[in-house]
Homo-oligomer: A and B are copies of this chain.
Amino acid sequence: MSEVAGRMSIQAGARALEKSCAGRGMLLGGVPGVEPAKVVIIGGGMVGTNAAQMAVGMGADVVVLDRSVDVLRRIDAQFNGAVKTVYSTVDALEKHVLSADLVIGGVLIPGAAAPKLVTADHIKRMKPGSAIVDVAIDQGGCVETSKATTHADPTYIVDDVVHYCVANMPGAVPLTSTFALNNATLPFIIRLANKGYKQALLDDAHLLNGLNVINGHVVNKHVADALNLPFVEPKQVLAAV
């Protein structure tokens, strides 16, 4: 789903920059003789890489920020220098967000609340008519001013910055999303059907990682920490079932 959301985020951001959405009225890729929009992507994971692929493809001027040099190296190699990669510090983030036309917030920590990297103060100082797409909104958002919206009414304005914070972005393209979800889950479902849930979970660390709550116990460390609830080892609970 991160792939769908990452690719959708650029499509949604391009639209948010249109005049009818109260954006700056810029074409993402510009035209020969007119500069393209500057797209700043926070986070170089699956959301960010897919967003970068679309943004580069549409001819935008793309910057990706991340805290891992290895992630930035992978992106530099994949796009062969067509994306600027910047190590994310407080200073670098502020500099690039304030000069952006479009910001994509793509920082997701599995099972935990997203950190608020773009602050309300940043939003105040961004260019009027610039736009921000908060892909992390399902986990609380990585933008201080973001609150969940719907496909029916996807954007709102704070301090002249267009916010797109649809909670279920892949829902806009259900045909693609359903196939993608099916491809990702089918192998697990077959195993669950063949082995029963208990054995399937015990046999497969990836599946087990997806288990959050069982028999009233929180068995995912991130979730437990985020909600301030006690964490229990999943294998221990499963053995007792």
Contacts and interface: CB of A to CB of B under 8 A. Distances in A.
Nearest to A150: B20
Nearest to A95: B35
A165 interface: no
B81 A183 contact: no
A180 B7 contact: no
Interface string A21-34: 00011111111111
B31 A54 contact: no
A22 to B, nearest CB: 12
Nearest to A3: B31
A31 B172 contact: no
A15 B11 contact: yes
A119 interface: no
Nearest to A18: B172
Contacts of A174: 19, 25
A111 interface: no
A137 interface: no
B25 A172 contact: yes
A175 B76 CA distance: 19
Nearest to A37: B176
A32 B77 CA distance: 9
Contacts of A151: 18-20
Contact of A59 (B32, B57, B177): B57
A81 B29 contact: yes
Given A78-B77, A81-B57, A183-B87, A4 B31 contact: yes
A137 B148 CA distance: 37
Nearest to A170: B27
A61 interface: yes
B29 A85 contact: no
Given A11-B11, A19-B151, A152-B20, A73 B26 contact: no
A33 B77 contact: no
Given A11-B27, A29-B54, 20 more contacts: A3-B73, A7-B31, A7-B59, A11-B14, A11-B15, A18-B172, A19-B151, A19-B171, A19-B173, A24-B175, A25-B175, A27-B173, A32-B85, A34-B86, A34-B176, A34-B180, A35-B86, A69-B183, A77-B78, A87-B179
11 contacts: A4-B27, A7-B29, A18-B172, A19-B172, A25-B173, A30-B84, A33-B179, A36-B84, A54-B57, A57-B57, A69-B183
